[in-house]
Amino acid sequence: MSERGLLLVVSAPSGAGKTTLCRLLIERLSFRFSVSHTTRPPRPGEVHGRDYYFVSRPEFESLVQEGAFLEWAEVHGHLYGTSVAEVERALSGEEDLLLDIDVQGASQVRRKLGAQAVFVFILPPSLEELERRLRSRGTEDEETLARRLARAREEIRFAPWFDYVVVNDEVERAFEDLAAIIRAERCRPARALP
Ligand code: 5GP
């Protein structure tokens, strides 16, 4: 853990390999995963409190009313949000925190926290490769696939707005880029000076 915590926001279109890269950040660089709230039902193997806090839509909406979220957005028909409580320890510099959120959420965090957070966008090598990866998962029908690809095109348009872009052509190489970004960010005066 660094002396002053790093709040790393990672966004990517689905199929870019973000989940694998995030897992490596947690395993190798001791980031803590920011657990979001969502109204999406759990997938097999997902654990409440570890992968997400799974809540109903009314519960989510009352949390919004209470101002409990740093950011929230609707993604693929479900609500997702990062609670203020989840990021508090990172903001007080006590830990390095990883936020795996969509581009709408990332822009809200940018508006609220500005340079306190670091924003990284993961790009697939090409749209053709993205389509190939989504197809190889074999979990989606043609309509869902077409929707995910259209959304990916939309999301990729936001890439220039991030601090860094990492092309995930090969996982280990992309991870090296991420590790280099983190290393450089830890050397910024705001984090490195006593
Ligand atoms: P999934 O349902 O596959 O876990 O996530 C779908 C999308 O929602 C992903 O792009 C993920 O980054 C995004 N997401 C997960 N948690 C949050 C959150 O707290 N806020 C926002 N804005 N997006 C999130």
List the residue whose alpha carbon is closest to atom 20 of ligand 1.
81
Distance between CA atoms of residues 120 and 142, nearest Å: 30
What confidence category does residue 3 fall into, taking pLDDT thresholds of 50, 70 and 90? Answer: low
Q: Output the average pLDDT for the chain.
A: 93
Give yes or no for residue 21 CB within 6 A of ligand 1: no
Give yes or no for residue 39 CB within 6 A of ligand 1: no
115 phi, psi to nearest 5 deg: -75, 0
Q: Can you tell me which atom of ligand 1 is nearest the CA of 108?
A: 22
Distance between CA atoms of residues 23 and 2, nearest Å: 19
List pLDDT tens digits, range 129-155: 999 988 887 777 888 889 889 999 999
Is residue 179 domain-resident? yes
Is residue 77 domain-resident? yes
DSSP 34: P
Indicate which CATH number applies to the domain containing 43. 3.40.50.300
Distance between CA atoms of residues 51 and 41, nearest Å: 12
Going by DSSP bridges, is the β-strand pair 117-123/164-167 parallel, antiparallel, or unpaired? parallel
Q: Can you tell me which atom of ligand 1 is nearest the CA of 13?
A: 10
14 and 148 Cβ atoms separated by less than 8 Å: yes
Instruction: Provide the number of structural domains found in the chain.
Output: 1
Is residue 161 domain-resident? yes
pTM of the model: 0.94
What percent of the chain is predicted at pLDDT more than 70? 98
pLDDT at position 137? 77
Average pLDDT over residues 77-86: 97
Residue whose structure tokens are 């936020």 = 99
Give yes or no for residue 53 CB within 6 A of ligand 1: no
Is residue 13 domain-resident? yes
Q: Which residues contact 134 (CB under 8 A, 6 or more apart)?
A: 14, 15, 140, 145, 148, 149
Average pLDDT over residues 37-59: 97
Q: Which range in 3-12, 131-140, 169-178 is most confidently predicted, on average pLDDT?
A: 169-178
Residue 76 belongs to domain spanning: 7-192
pLDDT greater than 50 at residue 2: no
pLDDT at position 112? 95
pLDDT at position 144? 84
Is residue 131 domain-resident? yes
Is residue 1 domain-resident? no
Average pLDDT over residues 24-32: 95
Q: Which range in 1-15, 97-111, 131-145 is most confidently predicted, on average pLDDT?
A: 97-111
Distance between CA atoms of residues 18 and 10, nearest Å: 8
Average pLDDT over residues 105-132: 94
Is residue 2 domain-resident? no
